[in-house]
């Protein structure tokens, strides 16, 4: 176990119980962390890249501490957070160690660190441009017995202890008498991040989440009330406020997730937006997803431009370093995650949808394997990780990350969006299948590919000189 990991766990245990200790230790911790993360020479990473990583980690723990101090996160919840997310995330219990070792021996690679599962496509809302094309009438749902078997393999054979649940609306999941909260109830040693529209978080559900303690809801917003209700439906914002109040009253750590589009980008570039959700409403983290032209009525029109994306990158850096709230942008924060995390790369992730299709990433709607089919043939989910599609994706990631001793431009890390032609070449050669009708149409749409390839060229033109000057290790 490295020093950094040991420090984080010990720090977590002490700080939960005592406010004064939190203050003193947090300063000490910051100094040691800076020494370890910035002053040390780290292969490929320039000092500026290391500073971003440090600012990211510091914003993460400071966001939790600030909300512990404000009483928004209860001590009881925070203790469970340390036992699950911190300890299980940073350490390897004997069982996890054994699972990882066995996987490594068998496949010659460390397993992915987590998975995103969307157990149901059902949703009570009908948002414009939903990446999942969800509705309230769809029947597409993974049976509990399949979900249970999937979780068991991921937990027992890949050593996973962190699970992301998406949708559809996870709180609408019902199968074989089970609800989505039966996952954290069964896998008590693991931590669950659940993306939700928030409208179903009643006082009773918030209480149940608090009692379980190993879940954090990430509630989707689009900006303030106008932007949120425009995309999600009238009255949704008020429902979100109620959900946040219920969670605060139970001391549950929650976050927000926002899709950046041409319609709300100006709001996302203001300080007011971050102040509103962090300072006023008590969020502890924020995910930013830039609109991906996939899913219902996909359109490249809603995508933010390369210039807007670059502005958002600078805003993200400012929020981390100056406001010290934890924000991660799936495309602009690749310095923190060491690039694209898809394709089940070691420590990275992959995605399983409501039909059991296994995909490299939530934003890559193409697959080769299906969980139900694999199980019926006596095979395992790990077999899907070694399809030509996944293997070639990981080869591309490796080559892009380390370009003859230089770190690839982390301002354009995305396999499907920022390197669209490369992605298409790999997808076609691997004979992938589309997840749904929209993905099938996108695959055949020449205009769509042209727009994405032009986007990539423009992003390269804007960010490559900046990357070279500010981030390339000399």
Residues of this chain that bind ligand SF4 (CB under 6 A): 330, 340-342, 361, 363-364, 413-417
Closest CA to 160 of 191, 193, 195, 181: 191
- What tokens appear for 127 in the block? 């948002």
Pick the closer one to ligand SF4 by CB: 84 or 333: 333
Cβ at position 416, least distance to ligand SF4 in Å: 5
Cβ at position 397, least distance to ligand SF4 in Å: 8
Pick the closer one to ligand SF4 by CB: 282 or 339: 339
Could you give the angle at which helices 47-69 and 19-34 cross, rounded to 10 degrees? 180
Measure the CA–CA gap between 473 and 467, rounded to whole angstroms. 10
Q: How far, CA to CA in Å, does 330 sit from each of 19, 289, 341, 390, 426?
A: 33, 6, 10, 20, 22
DSSP letter, residue 219: E
Pick the closer one to ligand SF4 by CB: 154 or 416: 416
Cβ at position 203, least distance to ligand SF4 in Å: 35
Pick the closer one to ligand SF4 by CB: 253 or 340: 340
Measure the CA–CA gap between 381 and 357, rounded to whole angstroms. 10
Measure the CA–CA gap between 432 and 424, rounded to whole angstroms. 10
Whether residue 307 contacts residue 277, with contact meaning beta carbons closer than 8 Å, is answered with no
Beta bridge partners of 225: none
DSSP 127-160: -TT-TT--BSS---B--HHHHHHHHHHHHHHS--
Pick the closer one to ligand SF4 by CB: 171 or 341: 341
Measure the CA–CA gap between 340 and 74, rounded to whole angstroms. 34
Measure the CA–CA gap between 223 and 228, rounded to whole angstroms. 6
Cβ at position 343, least distance to ligand SF4 in Å: 8
Closest CA to 111 of 158, 163, 164: 158
Pick the closer one to ligand SF4 by CB: 282 or 408: 408
Cβ at position 334, least distance to ligand SF4 in Å: 6
| Angle at the Cα of 323 from the Cα atoms of 318 and 325, rounded to 5 degrees | 100
Cβ at position 242, least distance to ligand SF4 in Å: 31
Cβ at position 342, least distance to ligand SF4 in Å: 4
Pick the closer one to ligand SF4 by CB: 340 or 432: 340
Counting every residue written for the chain, the total comes to: 474
Cβ at position 277, least distance to ligand SF4 in Å: 22
Cβ at position 21, least distance to ligand SF4 in Å: 37
Burial of 207 (C-beta count, 10 Å sphere; 0-12/13-18/19+): middle
Pick the closer one to ligand SF4 by CB: 80 or 394: 394
Pick the closer one to ligand SF4 by CB: 117 or 414: 414
Which long-range CB contacts under 8 A does 270-277 form with residues at least 24 apart?
A: 271/323, 273/223, 273/224, 274/319, 274/323, 274/325, 274/327, 276/224, 277/221
Pick the closer one to ligand SF4 by CB: 192 or 363: 363
Pick the closer one to ligand SF4 by CB: 127 or 411: 411
DSSP 234-268: TTHHHHHHHHHHHHHHHT---EEEEEE-TTTHHHH
Beta bridge partners of 162: 114, 191
Helix (H) or strand (E) run with residue 403 in it: strand 402-403
């Amino acid at each position: 176990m490295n020093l950094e990991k040991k420090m984080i766990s010990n720090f977590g245990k002490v700080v939960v119980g005592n406010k004064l200790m939190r203050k003193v230790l947090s300063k000490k911790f910051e100094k040691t962390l800076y020494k370890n993360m910035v002053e040390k020479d780290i292969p490929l990473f320039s000092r500026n890249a290391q500073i971003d990583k440090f600012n990211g980690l510091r914003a993460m723990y400071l966001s939790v501490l600030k909300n512990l101090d404000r009483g928004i996160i209860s001590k009881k919840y925070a203790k469970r957070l340390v036992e699950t997310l911190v300890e299980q995330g940073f350490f390897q219990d004997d069982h996890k160690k054994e699972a990882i070792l066995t996987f490594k021996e068998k496949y010659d690679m460390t397993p992915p660190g987590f998975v995103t599962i969307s157990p149901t496509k059902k949703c009570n809302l009908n948002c414009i441009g939903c990446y999942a094309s969800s509705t309230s009438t769809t029947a597409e749902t993974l049976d509990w017995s399949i979900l249970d078997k999937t979780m068991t393999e991921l937990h027992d054979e890949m050593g996973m202890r962190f699970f992301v649940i998406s949708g559809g609306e996870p709180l609408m999941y019902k199968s074989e008498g089970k609800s989505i909260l039966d996952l954290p109830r069964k896998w008590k040693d693991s931590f669950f991040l659940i993306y939700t529209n928030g409208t179903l978080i009643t006082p009773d559900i918030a209480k149940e989440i608090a009692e379980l303690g190993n879940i954090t809801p990430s509630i989707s917003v689009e900006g303030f009330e106008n932007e949120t209700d425009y995309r999600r439906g009238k009255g949704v914002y008020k429902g979100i406020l109620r959900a946040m109040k219920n969670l605060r009253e139970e001391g549950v750590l929650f976050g927000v997730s926002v899709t950046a589009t041409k319609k709300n980008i100006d709001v996302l570039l203001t300080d007011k937006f971050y102040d509103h959700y962090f300072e006023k409403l008590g969020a502890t983290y924020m995910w930013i997803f830039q609109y991906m032209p996939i899913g219902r009525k996909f359109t490249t029109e809603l995508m933010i431009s390369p210039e807007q994306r670059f502005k958002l990158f600078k805003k993200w850096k400012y929020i981390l370093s100056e406001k010290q709230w934890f924000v991660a942008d799936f495309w602009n924060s690749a310095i923190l995650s060491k690039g694209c995390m898809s394709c089940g790369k070691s420590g990275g992730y992959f995605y399983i949808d409501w039909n059991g299709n296994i995909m490299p990433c939530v934003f890559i709607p193409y697959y080769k394997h299906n969980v139900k089919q694999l199980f019926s043939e006596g095979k395992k989910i790990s077999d899907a990780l070694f399809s030509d599609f996944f293997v070639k994706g990981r080869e591309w990631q490796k080559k892009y990350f380390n370009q003859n001793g230089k770190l690839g431009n982390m301002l354009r890390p995305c396999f499907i969006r920022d390197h669209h032609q490369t992605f298409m070449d790999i997808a076609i050669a691997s004979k992938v299948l589309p997840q749904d009708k929209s993905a099938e149409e996108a695959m055949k749409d020449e205009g769509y590919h042209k727009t994405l390839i032009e986007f990539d060229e423009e992003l390269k033109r804007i960010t490559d000189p900046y990357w070279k000057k500010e981030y390339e290790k000399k």
